[in-house]
């Protein structure tokens, strides 16, 4: 060690400067490699965004079309219900007796039931067709996204067991085996 504090401070400053420079160089190389890796993936991200935007437009079209059909079907159902109500009110006003009213109302039931079933079937067809189209949209969008995916070659993922093994940790299964062997040794 040197007796001169000034020489000691100068040597320490040079050492710290060299260490700081090495850390700065390492940080710069890491930033450059990360930027390079990310920049190579940008075209794939752009393709994914285009795919998602197109899927969003198709979904909006599907939902608007389905909603329009459901509103039209609702309007048809409301008109049918109003017509049935008007017919029943006319029957009531023309009935000569309670028995005659009951008979006319009962005779009108099959036609009302058939109208209602037809309207429910039409509504069901609209909903199931929309569901099929939505499933197809999800399936095609998913396959497009998977087709354009860029594999992650820069990094491998480590499972929990590999992480613990790398750090000297013992898994629960291994601990159980060790306990069992310790018990059998004691007996």
Domain for residue 96, yes or no? yes
Structural domain count of the chain: 1
Contact 77, 119 (CB under 8 A): yes
Domain span at residue 130 reads 41-142
The whole-number pLDDT of residue 108 equals 93
The residue among 60, 61, 48, 44 whose CA lies nearest residue 141 is 48
Domain for residue 154, yes or no? no
pLDDT digits (tens, 9 = 90+) for 56-75: 999 999 999 999 999 999 99
Domain for residue 168, yes or no? no
Please tell me the distance from the alpha carbon of residue 124 to that of residue 48, in angstroms, as a whole number. Answer: 34
pLDDT digits (tens, 9 = 90+) for 101-138: 999 999 999 999 999 999 999 999 999 999 999 999 99
The whole-number pLDDT of residue 97 equals 93
pLDDT digits (tens, 9 = 90+) for 7-44: 877 877 777 777 888 888 888 889 888 888 888 878 77
**Exposed, middle or buried: residue 187 (CB in 10 Å: 0-12, 13-18, 19+)?**
exposed
pTM (global) more than 0.85: no
Domain for residue 94, yes or no? yes
Domain for residue 13, yes or no? no
Phi-psi region of 4 (alpha: psi -120 to 50; beta: other; left: phi over 0): beta
Quick one: pLDDT band at residue 166, thresholds 50, 70, 90?
Answer: low
Q: Which residue has the tokens 């079933």?
A: 117
The whole-number pLDDT of residue 175 equals 62
Domain for residue 73, yes or no? yes
């Amino acid at each position: 060690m040197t007796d001169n504090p000034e020489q000691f401070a100068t040597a320490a400053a040079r050492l710290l400067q060299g260490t700081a420079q090495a850390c700065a160089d390492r940080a710069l190389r890491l930033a450059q490699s990360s930027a390079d890796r990310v920049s190579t993936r940008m075209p794939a991200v752009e393709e994914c965004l285009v795919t998602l935007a197109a899927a969003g437009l198709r979904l909006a079209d599907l939902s608007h079309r389905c909603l329009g059909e459901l509103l039209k079907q609702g309007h048809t159902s409301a008109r049918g219900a109003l017509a049935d109500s008007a017919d029943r009110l006319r029957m009531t006003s023309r009935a000569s007796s309670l028995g005659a009213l009951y008979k006319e109302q009962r005779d009108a039931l099959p036609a009302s039931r058939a109208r209602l079933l037809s309207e429910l079937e039409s509504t069901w067809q609209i909903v199931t067709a929309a569901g099929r189209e939505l499933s197809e949209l999800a399936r095609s969008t998913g396959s497009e996204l998977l087709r354009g995916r860029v594999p992650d070659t820069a990094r491998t993922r480590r499972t929990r067991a590999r992480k613990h093994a790398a750090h000297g940790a013992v898994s629960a299964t291994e601990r159980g085996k060790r306990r069992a062997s310790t018990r059998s040794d004691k007996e």
